[in-house]
Amino acid sequence: MYLIAGLGNPGPPYEHTRHNIGLKSVEQWGKSLGATLKIDRFGSKHAPVNFRGKKIVLLCPLTFMNKSGESVGDCLHYYDLASDRLLVIHDDLDLPLGRIKVIKHGGAGGHKGVLSIIGILGNSEFSRVKIGIGRPCHGEAIADYVLSDFYDNEKKLAEDVIRTAIEAAELFVLEGVQTAMNRINCRRLTI
């Protein structure tokens, strides 16, 4: 069994923001699999799903970004999964939009959601799909930028990026993190 967690913030004001691209990826994957993510435990929307013979749990924490670890940790412990069965999908300011990077382990890189998960689990032995959202182009403060929608000329690319993030998660489940890294990290999607 695998746990796939998409990070974001709950509620309509955050729904289409850059910071929610991880959550949107998991929601969209669930929809394509015919799964309904329900709010019923772990402070999340989640659904157990069978994906090509593999059992997975799709999870979107509803605890706000900086407390994502509470939801992820509760779910991981409930299903008695090791950290290496966890894939976290999240936004990354240090990668341009159109770039996705799959990593096996690593630090938080300043991402408060990842930092929360590391803090709760007590380790960073989980894989990630880091989705580039780039840096502000119009002088916005970082906090305002990540909590705003994509620019109009970026919206189509953001949809393409979500599809690629889903592909990365599928590869992680079916063939392992190394294959996902080899096939995804060399791609550069463009507007």
User: Shortest CA distance to 170 belongs to which of 126, 133, 129, 124?
Assistant: 129
Per the CB < 8 A criterion, the answer to whether 72 and 59 are in contact is yes
Known catalytic membership, residue 19: yes
Q: Which of 19, 46, 90, 111 does the annotation list as catalytic?
A: 19
CB proximity list for 163: less than 8 A, separation 6 or greater: 28
CA 43 to chain centre: 16
CA distance 118 to 115: 5
The catalytic residues are: 19
